[in-house]
């Protein structure tokens, strides 16, 4: 292919994709397109707590090791996603009986075992993912219920103790939720003020072709104003925003999709200072492996590559913005 014109060759910051180790091992085309275009990998699921510590004290490293080894051979970096997330709580944790000290120990041990194993190999982590509800209150996760809202700060401290060099992120989806946005900014500023070791904000960016440019701009600008690193950590753009079951792709939709990718890249470059540009990561590689197809049970084409990993119009739109 025209390898000079790949995403990673054009961008002045890392370009990532969230990766599934089974697909990587079984699909040569997936692997080749990943290596050609990306220089960063996010662990889609394999480093989440339910996968990496499915039973108390039983850590399963195989999949995350495979991604780390592949990344090393391919000259890519690995972004660890995610240490603490309310969705990825294994049953043994849901059913755990213990006082707040026992809960604290459980959380700390998890974080430090995982971060410690990949010290110097996984150089950045989403420490806590999605701690807030849309109304800006804390999500009533097991962590919040047993440990109170300051569990978030302690997660960062524990991760930092395990690998003082790792860059630590708070990751969240906000688009169009002003109360949540305010709560996230308040958290970030509070952590900074208290010298809690936080380095960056992960802005998920699961958006649609109808997401207003102004809202993308104002969200990214507010994060940039914190002075933290800004990672667009899970970018995908739904072409079927109404989740229609009779969805048909038209040329107009393809153009709108390509333009939105270009706009996101341009906003990122214009609003985030180069020193804060941690990178942009796509959530999955091709349309066939997008989690949105399973999550929404309707057709969609949210990514830059089609079902067989050919470049789409949106690929070229994104390149134009980079
Ligand atoms: C998703 C994965 O892509 C799916 O395969 C899994 O079934 C559920 O989690 N926001 C996040 C990611 O922070 O962890 C989610 O990943 C997608 C939404």
Q: Residue 81 — φ and ψ, nearest 5°?
A: -130, 125
129 lines ligand 1 (CB under 6 A): yes
Cα(111)–Cα(258) distance, integer angstroms: 39
Q: Measuring from atom 3 of ligand 1, which residue has the nearest CA?
A: 291
pTM: 0.97
Give me the pLDDT at residue 67, please: 98
Q: For 275, what's the count of Cα atoms within 13 Å in the CB-facing half-sphere?
A: 5
Name the residue of 16, 41, 45 to mutate for ligand 1: max ligand atoms within 8 A of Cβ.
45
Count of C-beta atoms within a 10 Å radius of residue 226: 18
* Architecture in CATH for domain 39-64+74-198: Alpha-Beta Barrel (3.20)
Closest atom of ligand 1 to CA, residue 130: 13
Q: Measuring from atom 12 of ligand 1, which residue has the nearest CA?
A: 44
199 lines ligand 1 (CB under 6 A): no
Give me the pLDDT at residue 294, please: 86
Compute the distance from residue 218 Cα to the ligand 1 centre, in Å. Answer: 25
Cα(71)–Cα(35) distance, integer angstroms: 9
Cα angle: 197, vertex 202, 204; to 5 degrees = 160
Helix, strand or coil for residue 199? coil
Helix ranges, 95-248 (H): 100-117, 142-147, 151-162, 178-193, 213-224
234 lines ligand 1 (CB under 6 A): yes
Cα(15)–Cα(5) distance, integer angstroms: 13
Residues in the chain: 322
Answer whether 1-38+227-322 and 39-64+74-198 agree in fold. yes
Give me the pLDDT at residue 2, please: 53
Nearest to 6 by CA among 305, 255, 291: 305
Residues 6+ apart with CB under 8 A from 152: 128, 131, 170, 187, 191
Residues 6+ apart with CB under 8 A from 297: none
**Binned average pLDDT, 10 residues per bin, the chain of 322 residues:** 80 98 98 98 98 98 98 98 98 97 98 98 98 98 98 98 98 95 98 98 98 97 98 98 93 98 98 98 97 90 98 98 97
Enter the CATH code of domain 1-38+227-322.
3.20.20.80
Name 230's bridge partners.
Answer: 201, 277
Cα(109)–Cα(250) distance, integer angstroms: 51
Cα(80)–Cα(65) distance, integer angstroms: 12
Count of C-beta atoms within a 10 Å radius of residue 283: 23
Nearest to 147 by CA among 187, 96, 87, 202: 96
Give me the pLDDT at residue 297, please: 84
Domain spans, the chain: 1-38+227-322, 39-64+74-198
Cα(319)–Cα(314) distance, integer angstroms: 8
Give me the pLDDT at residue 89, please: 98
Inter-residue contact 234 to 287 (CB < 8 Å) = no
Give me the pLDDT at residue 1, please: 45
315: enclosing H helix or E strand: helix 313-321
**Token pair listed for 52:** 């990496």
Active site (annotated) includes residue 130: yes
Choose, from 44, 172, 219, 234, the residue flagged as catalytic.
234
Inter-residue contact 168 to 192 (CB < 8 Å) = no
């Amino acid at each position: 292919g025209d390898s000079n014109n790949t995403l990673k060759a054009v961008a002045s910051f890392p370009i990532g994709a969230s990766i599934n180790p089974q697909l990587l091992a079984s699909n040569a085309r997936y692997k080749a397109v990943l290596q050609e275009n990306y220089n960063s990998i996010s662990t889609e699921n394999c480093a989440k707590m339910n996968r990496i510590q499915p039973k108390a004290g039983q850590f399963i490293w195989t999949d995350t090791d495979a991604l780390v080894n592949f990344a090393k051979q391919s000259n890519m970096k690995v972004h660890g996603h995610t240490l603490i997330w309310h969705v990825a709580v294994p049953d043994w944790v849901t059913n755990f009986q213990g006082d707040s000290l026992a809960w604290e120990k459980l959380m700390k041990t998890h974080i430090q075992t995982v971060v410690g194993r990949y010290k110097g190999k996984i150089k950045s982590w989403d420490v806590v993912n999605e701690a807030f509800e849309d109304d800006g209150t804390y999500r009533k996760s097991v962590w919040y219920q047993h440990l109170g809202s300051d569990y978030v700060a302690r997660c960062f401290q524990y991760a930092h103790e395990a690998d003082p060099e790792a860059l630590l992120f708070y990751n969240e989806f906000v688009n169009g939720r002003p109360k949540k946005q305010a709560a996230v900014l308040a958290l970030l500023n509070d952590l900074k003020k208290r010298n809690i070791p936080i380095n960056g904000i992960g802005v998920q960016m699961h958006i649609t072709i109808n997401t207003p440019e102004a809202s993308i701009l104002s969200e990214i600008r507010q994060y940039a104003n914190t002075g933290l690193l800004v990672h667009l950590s899970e970018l995908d753009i739904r072409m079927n925003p109404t989740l229609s079951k009779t969805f048909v792709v038209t040329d107009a939709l393809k153009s709108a999709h390509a333009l939105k990718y270009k706009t996101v890249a341009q906003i990122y470059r214009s609003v985030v200072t180069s020193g804060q540009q941690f990178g942009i990561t796509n959530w999955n590689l091709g349309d066939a492996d997008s989690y949105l197809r399973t999550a929404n049970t309707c057709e969609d084409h949210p990514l830059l590559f089609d079902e067989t990993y050919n470049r789409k119009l949106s690929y070229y739109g994104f390149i134009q913005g980079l």
